Structure 1
Amino acid sequence: MTRQEPDGGDDGKQCGIQVIARAAAIMRTLGTHPQGLSLAAIAQAVGLPRSTVQRIVSALESEYLVEAARSGGFRLGPALGQLIYQTQTDIISLARPHLETLLERLQESVILATSANEKIYVVDRIVAEHELRVVFPIGSYVPMHSTAVGKALLSRMSDAQVRDLLPEPLPALTRNTHDLPSLLDELATIRQSGGLAADREEFIEGIYGFAVALDTYLGNYGIAVVAPASRIKGKDELFCKALLDCKRDIEQMIGAGKLPA
């Protein structure tokens, strides 16, 4: 007779699902605290015993999904960055046709970006054909607090998470750059407006931008339109409508609620 391995059944499956859910909760918490968190702080944030958190963090650390932070505690590890990098090829190929439509509609440069600690990372961009045009190089890092796409992504966080993430005081890049209290006030307005954000010469003198965040199963990204202030002033309604249409079209295809089978 052949000896069969014992079957854990539904109880074993449920236990595995629970561990994955707990690991995901821990990683989401660390994702909003890039400076690192202690085991006790993680346990409090996710509502689990410290001993349970320690076991899960140790397992994640062995896979380089979590690593020790310089300031103590733990933060997200390099393996997660590799996974994100691998998904960027997908987001670029999927979003690119919609970015091209957005550029054709507005005749201004467009950007696809994601967050990288307190900065945004430019994943893709299409430059408008004007003598005077705005170019953000692919792969460049730009401050979140002074750009439209950065503020759109920040608006998805709580005020406490924003305070933890950003330096204080905020670097003043132009005379229009917000300090932290006024930035938090603007983020509240952005949340009420459906996630639409603007940069009116806050990053670079003479440059305006409008942006909106995307919620996709590939992660959180933002799309922005940037242009010289002289061409974009007074066109808020036109640009915001085009951005919302682009957001709708992309999320209909790869929205967070449309995970592939």
Structure 2
Amino acid sequence: MTDAGDRHGPHSVINRVLAVLATFEGTPGSLTVAGIAQRADLPVSTTYRIVASLEEWGALRKGSDGRYQIGFRLWSLGQQAGRRLRDRAHPFLQDLFDLTQENVHLAIRDGLHSLYVDKVYNSRKLPVVSRIGGRLPLHATAVGRVLLAAQPDWFVDAYLARELESPTPNTVTDPAVLARVIADVRREGFSVTYEQMRLGAISLAAPIVYQEETVASVALVFDIGQAGEVDRLRPAVKGTADKIGRAMRGGSAGAVLRRVSPPTSDRFSSDEKPGLHGAGPG
């Protein structure tokens, strides 16, 4: 029997399934069916049927406590996104980690966020808030500021006109100040953030350029007590970004980069310019 809520056709069903999966974005733990229904704004009965189907397929898995998490099949499928980019970049990220012994990140732009596609880290080092597949605000991260600086002026203006997130008390949200910061990143070719995303942390990032476009960004994250090390570490970060860019020019990774980032649900306004939230890193 067809659910009465599905009478609008298959697109309605697909939208509901996507709404259920979207509830797990940014969720650190597991969710109950009731919690999923509330987040997805769906009836519990409808949610229960969707969750059961997703569990059967492997997109979700049920824990012993009756709560649900993303399933291994969906996780495995998601790992295919950006795989060729990671394959090209990862040896250089590992080299940077070996050289500095600091946490290393690789990110692309996904709409209004930095999407983290790879990282190399030491569990004994400073804990970091990013995770592979995680998304953080562009203005609050060094990789994000690099990616934001690569966008056209109209994009930056529209981004800064939003109500900006403030992950820490030190996060800069003043549009005028951020506009000057972005101008500095464009001029200097790197970004340094102090306690913008996490208290006690510094991030140092540089752009990865392919065919004259910034397609990704690489960064180190280290303790605020090492602020005096920024100038010493900057050439290593910049050199790593340049090496990744050269490795990409040696193959077809650039075409893949434009398919790495999935469509985003972020929106500026109804009259936004075309391409603002395209799947490419732009």
| TM-score tier (shorter) | 0.5 to 0.7
Q: How far apart are the structure 2 equivalents of 1:236 and 1:109?
A: 14
Indicate the residue corresponding to 2:90 in structure 1: 96
Identity %: 26
Q: How far apart are the structure 2 equivalents of 1:114 and 1:170?
A: 19
Q: How far apart are the structure 1 equivalents of 2:178 and 2:123?
A: 33
1:221 equivalent in alignment to 2:216: yes
In the alignment, which of 204, 212, 224 is matched to residue 210 of structure 1?
A: 204
Give yes or no for contact 2:209–2:242 (8 Å, CA) kept in 1. no
Indicate the residue corresponding to 1:110 in structure 2: 104
Indicate the residue corresponding to 1:193 in structure 2: 188
Indicate the residue corresponding to 2:230 in structure 1: 236
Give yes or no for contact 1:209–1:227 (8 Å, CA) kept in 2. yes
Give yes or no for contact 2:191–2:204 (8 Å, CA) kept in 1. yes
Give yes or no for contact 1:144–1:154 (8 Å, CA) kept in 2. yes
1:159 equivalent in alignment to 2:153: yes
Q: CA deviation at 1:168?
A: 2.1
In the alignment, which of 179, 184, 189 is matched to residue 179 of structure 2?
A: 184
Q: Tell me the amino acid that sits aligned with residue 155 of structure 2.
A: Q
Cα distance 1:204–1:97, how it changes in 2: closer, same or farther (>3 A)? same
Q: How far apart are the structure 1 equivalents of 2:132 and 2:204?
A: 18
Q: Tell me the amino acid that sits aligned with residue 171 of structure 1.
A: E
Query: TM-score, normalising length from structure 1?
Result: 0.61
Deviations 1:82-109 (A, max 9, x none): xx98561101011000000000111101
Higher relative contact order (CA 8 A, sep 6+): 2
Q: CA deviation at 1:176?
A: 2.2
Give yes or no for contact 2:207–2:214 (8 Å, CA) kept in 1. no
Q: CA deviation at 1:255?
A: 3.6
The structure with the larger Rg is 1
Q: CA deviation at 1:242?
A: 0.5
**SS of residue matched to 1:101:** helix
Q: How far apart are the structure 1 equivalents of 2:121 and 2:182?
A: 28
Q: CA deviation at 1:169?
A: 2.9
Deviations 1:25-53 (A, max 9, x none): xxxxxxxxxxxxxxxxxxxxxxxxxxxxx
Give yes or no for contact 1:133–1:228 (8 Å, CA) kept in 2. no
Query: TM-score, normalising length from structure 2?
Result: 0.56
Write out aligned runs for 1:113-128 (5 A): 113-128=107-122
Q: CA deviation at 1:174?
A: 2.2
Farther-moved stretch of structure 1 (251-260 vs 92-101): 251-260
Q: Tell me the amino acid that sits aligned with residue 128 of structure 2.
A: V
**Count of equivalent residues:** 176
Cα distance 1:219–1:180, how it changes in 2: closer, same or farther (>3 A)? closer
Q: How far apart are the structure 2 equivalents of 1:244 and 1:151?
A: 15
Farther-moved stretch of structure 1 (118-127 vs 157-166): 157-166
Q: Which runs of 5+ in 1 are unaligned?
A: 1-83
Give yes or no for contact 1:127–1:134 (8 Å, CA) kept in 2. no
Q: How far apart are the structure 2 equivalents of 1:258 and 1:133?
A: 34
Farther-moved stretch of structure 1 (242-251 vs 208-217): 208-217
Q: Tell me the amino acid that sits aligned with residue 223 of structure 1.
A: V
**SS of residue matched to 2:209:** strand
Cα distance 1:182–1:131, how it changes in 2: closer, same or farther (>3 A)? closer
1:134 equivalent in alignment to 2:128: yes
Q: How far apart are the structure 2 equivalents of 1:197 and 1:131?
A: 21
Q: CA deviation at 1:113?
A: 0.6
Cα distance 1:200–1:219, how it changes in 2: closer, same or farther (>3 A)? closer
Cα distance 1:259–1:226, how it changes in 2: closer, same or farther (>3 A)? closer
Q: Tell me the amino acid that sits aligned with residue 157 of structure 2.
A: R
Q: Tell me the amino acid that sits aligned with residue 228 of structure 1.
A: D
